Chain A
Amino acid sequence: MSLTPPSSSPDSVEDELELSAVRHRPEGLEQLEALTRFNRKELQILYRGFKNECPSGVVNEDTFKDIYSQFFPQGDASTYAHFLFNAFDTDKDGSVSFEDFVMGLSILLRGSVQEKLNWAFNLYDINKDGCITKEEMLDIMKAIYDMMGKCTYPLLKDDTPRQHVEIFFQKMDKNKDGVVTIDEFIDCCQNDENIMRSMQLFDNVI
Chain B
Amino acid sequence: MAAGVAAWLPFARAAAIGWMPVANCPMPVAPRDHRKRHDELIILNVSGRRFQTWRTTLDRYPDTLLGSSEKQFFYDEETKEYFFDRDPDSFRSILNFYRTGKLHYPRYECISAYDEELTFFGIIPEIIGDCCYEEYKDRKRENAERLQDDQDDNKDCKLPNMTYRETMWRAFENPHTSTMALVFYYVTGFFIAISVLTNVIETVPCGATPSQKDMPCGERYTIAFFCMDTACVLIFTVEYLMRLFAAPSRYQFMRSVMSIIDVVAIFPYYIGLVMTDNEDVSGAFVTLRVFRVFRIFKFSRHSQGLRILGYTLKSCASELGFLLFSLTMAIIIFATVMFYAEKGSSSTKFTSIPASFWYTIVTMTTLG
Q: A residues touching B (Cβ–Cβ < 8 Å)?
A: 45-46, 48-50, 52-53, 67-68, 70-71, 80, 83-84, 101, 104-105, 108-109, 116-117, 119-120, 123-124, 140-141, 144, 164, 167-168, 185, 189, 194-195, 197-199, 201-202, 204-206
**Which residue from A53, A84, A120 sits with its C-beta under 8 Å from B20?**
A120
Closest residue of chain A to B15 (Cβ to Cβ) is: A84
Q: How far is the CA of A185 from the CA of B22 in the complex (A)?
A: 11
Chain B positions near chain A (C-beta within 8 angstroms)? 1-2, 4-15, 17-27, 29-30, 32, 39
Q: A144 near B7 (CB under 8 angstroms)? A: no
Using known A-B contacts A109-B14, A194-B26, A204-B32, determine if residue A53 contacts B21 with beta carbons closer than 8 Å.
no
**Cβ–Cβ contact A201 & B27, under 8 A:** yes
| List of 5 A-B pairs having minimum Cβ-Cβ separation, nearest first | A49-B7, A108-B14, A52-B4, A198-B27, A71-B12
Contact A144 B20 (CB under 8 A): no
Q: Which chain B residues border A144 with CB–CB below 8 Å? A: 18-19, 22
Task: Give Cα A103–Cα B227 distance, bound, in whole angstroms.
Answer: 103
* Bound-complex Cα distance A45 to B17 (A): 22
Q: Indicate which residue in A49, A84, A201 contacts B4 across the interface (CB closer than 8 Å).
A: A49
For A105, give its contact among B14, B29, B30 (CB under 8 Å).
B14
Most B CB atoms within 10 A — which of A70, A167, A198, A206?
A198
Complex Cα gap A84–B8 (Å): 14
* A83, B15: Cα distance in complex, Å: 11
From the candidates B8, B17, B19, B29, name the one contacting A67 in the complex (CB within 8 A): B8
| Contact A68 B15, beta carbon cutoff 8 Å | yes
Given contacts A67-B5, A67-B8, A70-B1, contact A123 B18 (CB under 8 A): yes
User: Whole-angstrom distance from the CB of B94 to the nearest CB of chain A?
Assistant: 18
Cα A25 to Cα B76 in complex, Å, equals 39
Contact in complex: B5, A53 (CB < 8 Å): yes
Contacts of B23 in A (CB 8 A): 194-195, 198
- Shortest distance from the beta carbon of B52 to any chain A beta carbon, whole Å: 14
Q: Which residues of B contact A140 (CB under 8 A)?
A: 18, 22
Contact B22 A105, beta carbon cutoff 8 Å: no
A205, B10: Cβ atoms closer than 8 Å: yes
- Most B C-beta atoms less than 10 A away, residue of A105, A117, A202: A202
Closest Cβ–Cβ distance, residue B250 to chain A (whole Å): 58
From B32, which residue of chain A is reached at the shortest CB distance? A204
**Most chain A Cβ neighbours within 10 Å, of B12, B17, B24:** B17
Q: Could you tell me if A202 and B18 are in contact, using CB atoms closer than 8 angstroms?
A: no
Residues B21 and A195 in contact, CB atoms below 8 Å apart: yes
B11 with A101: CB separation less than 8 A? yes
Closest B residue by C-beta to A205: B13
Do the beta carbons of B7 and A202 come within 8 Å of each other? no
Taking CB as reference atom, which chain A residue is nearest B7? A49
Determine if B18 and A84 form an interchain contact, defined as CB atoms under 8 angstroms apart.
yes
Per the bound structure, the CA–CA distance linking A193 and B32 in Å amounts to 23
Distance in angstroms from A160 CB to nearest chain B CB is: 11
Minimum C-beta distance from A198 to chain B (A): 4
Q: How far is the CA of A202 from the CA of B11 in the complex (A)?
A: 11
Minimum CB–CB distance for A73 against chain B, Å:
9
Contact A80 B18, beta carbon cutoff 8 Å = yes
Q: 18 additional contacts, CB 8 Å, given A71-B8, A168-B21, A189-B21? A: A46-B7, A52-B4, A53-B7, A67-B8, A70-B1, A70-B2, A80-B18, A101-B11, A108-B17, A109-B14, A117-B21, A123-B18, A168-B22, A185-B21, A194-B26, A198-B23, A198-B27, A202-B14
A200 to B: closest C-beta gap in Å = 10
> Known contacts A194-B23, A197-B26: does B10 contact A206 (CB below 8 Å)?
yes
**CB-based nearest B residue for A185:** B21
A67 vs B5: C-alpha distance in the bound complex, in angstroms? 7
Q: Is the CB of B14 within 8 A of A205?
A: yes
Q: Point out the residue from A71, A141, A204 that lies within 8 Å of B22, measured CB to CB.
A: A141
When distances are taken between beta carbons in the complex, the residues of chain B under 8 Å from A119 are 17
CB distance from B133 to the nearest CB of A (A): 22
Question: Whose C-beta in chain B lies nearest to the C-beta of A194?
Answer: B26
> Given the known A-B contacts A201-B27, A201-B29, are A53 and B19 also in contact in the complex, defined by CB atoms under 8 Å?
no
Q: Which residues of A contact B15 (CB under 8 A)?
A: 68, 84, 108
Cα-based distance from A101 to B14 in the complex (angstroms): 11
Instruction: Select from chain A the residue with minimum beta-carbon distance to B3.
Output: A52
Chain A residues with CB under 8 A of B1: 70-71
CB<8 Å pairs between A and B, sample of 29: A45-B7, A46-B7, A49-B4, A50-B7, A52-B7, A105-B10, A105-B14, A108-B17, A116-B17, A119-B17, A120-B20, A120-B21, A123-B17, A123-B18, A124-B18, A124-B21, A140-B18, A144-B19, A164-B22, A167-B24, A189-B21, A194-B25, A195-B20, A195-B21, A199-B20, A201-B30, A202-B14, A205-B10, A205-B13
Least CB distance from B226 to A in Å reads: 83
The distance from the CB of B36 to the nearest CB of chain A, in whole angstroms, is 10
Question: Which of A71, A83, A189 has the most C-beta atoms of chain B within 10 angstroms of its own C-beta?
Answer: A71
Report A-chain residues with C-beta under 8 Å of the C-beta of B27: 198, 201
Residue from the list A67, A84, A195, A202 in contact with B13, Cβ < 8 A: A202
Q: What residues on B are CB-neighbors of A68 within 8 Å?
A: 12, 15
